[in-house]
Amino acid sequence: MPETVPILQPELHRMSGGEIDGLLKESLVSLRQLITAEPDVFQLLDLTPLDEAQPDGRWLYFIEAPFATFPRYVIGETDVENKLPTVVFQSGAEWSAVDYWITLTRPIQ
């Protein structure tokens, strides 16, 4: 099986710099554990809050599913307790999912 692109940054740092702390860190760690415990999740590739000012709100997730075919990569939105997940994108191709994730999380202003 080919290796996936490690999009998720080291546990307590962001690509934009600065450490994650407080409620944002607690929410990140808790939600990461909930998502990776799901049976349809092979690997959590990235996780980011929709609004860093509200870390107890909605989060975007990017996972690799254990399926050999479609949908291998899933991007969605969920609450901090992972009780209301919504799939927004599915793809069998990693490049397509990565492209969508980058477009979603880093829109051109």
Q: What is the 3-state secondary structure (H, E, C) of 59-94?
A: EEEEEECCCCCCCCEEEEEECCCCCCCEEEEEECCH
Q: How confident is the model at residue 4 (pLDDT cuts 50, 70, 90)?
A: very low
Query: Which pair of structure tokens corresponds to residue 24?
Result: 């944002």
Of residues 99 and 24, which shows the higher confidence score? 99
Instruction: Say if residue 1's pLDDT is above 50.
Output: no
pLDDT in tens, 6-63: 444 444 444 444 566 788 888 889 999 999 999 999 999 999 988 877 777 899 999 9
Question: Residues 49-96: pLDDT tens digits?
Answer: 888 777 778 999 999 998 877 889 999 999 999 999 999 999 999 999
∠ CA 74-80-85 to the nearest 5 degrees? 35
Q: How far apart are CA 58 and CA 82, in angstroms?
A: 9
Q: Which residues contact 15 (CB under 8 A, 6 or more apart)?
A: 9
Q: What is the predicted pLDDT for the residue at 37?
A: 95
Give Dmax (Cα) for the chain.
39
